[in-house]
Amino acid sequence: MRVTLAEVEAAVRSAWSPETAFAREDSRAPEKASAGRGQCGPTALVVQDLLGGELVIAEVTVAGVVDGVHYWNRFGAVDVDLTRDQFLDDEVVGGPRVVQRPSDGIKPGPARDAYLLLRERVLAALPDR
């Protein structure tokens, strides 16, 4: 199946829900709500499944203290971050580094469940080719 980034982005955004997010409960509080909040890990993995590229990670800091991490994708010299709008003014995304996807897959648990559900929804939403 060959798909475009625009098709993948539309399918991903329509598939997001609280069940596809993987982030601490307090970071998904209503006052911090944006559609992409907590969706970066599962989204980056699904984008890589469909389009290839590299996974990129960076620490997120608040007032100089590491508060979490952020994932996105890189295709050569171009970064694609479908969840970049999730950050508040006081949250700073640090320097990126490329990481390898675990060869044995994602360990069973909430992160894997969120990824698999998002992947299933995205694949169902993409046009048949």
Backbone angles phi, psi at 86, to 5 degrees: -80, -15
Q: What is the pLDDT of residue 79?
A: 97
Q: What is the pLDDT of residue 52?
A: 95
Q: What is the pLDDT of residue 23?
A: 74
Maximum Cα interatomic distance, the chain, rounded to a whole number of Å: 48
Mean pLDDT of 94-101: 95
Query: Which of 77, 84, 8 lies closest to 46, judged by CA?
Result: 8
pTM to 2 decimals? 0.90
**Band of residue 88 on the pLDDT scale cut at 50, 70, 90:** confident
pLDDT in tens, 18-74: 999 987 666 655 555 688 889 999 999 999 999 999 999 999 999 999 989 999 999
Q: Residue 93: in which H helix or E strand, if any? A: strand 91-93
Number of domains making up the chain: 1
Which distant-in-sequence residues (6+ apart) come within 8 Å of 114 by Cβ?
19, 20, 21, 22, 41, 42
Contact status, residue 67 vs residue 61, Cβ threshold 8 Å: yes
Which of the 8 DSSP states describes residue 82?
T
| Strand-strand pairing, 91-93 and 54-62 | antiparallel
Q: What percent of the chain lies above the pLDDT cut of 90?
A: 69
Residue with tokens 């694949």: 123
In the predicted structure, residue 102 carries a pLDDT above the cut 90: no
Question: Structural domain of residue 66, as residue ranges?
Answer: 5-125
Q: If you average pLDDT over every residue of the chain, what do you get?
A: 90
**Band of residue 2 on the pLDDT scale cut at 50, 70, 90:** confident
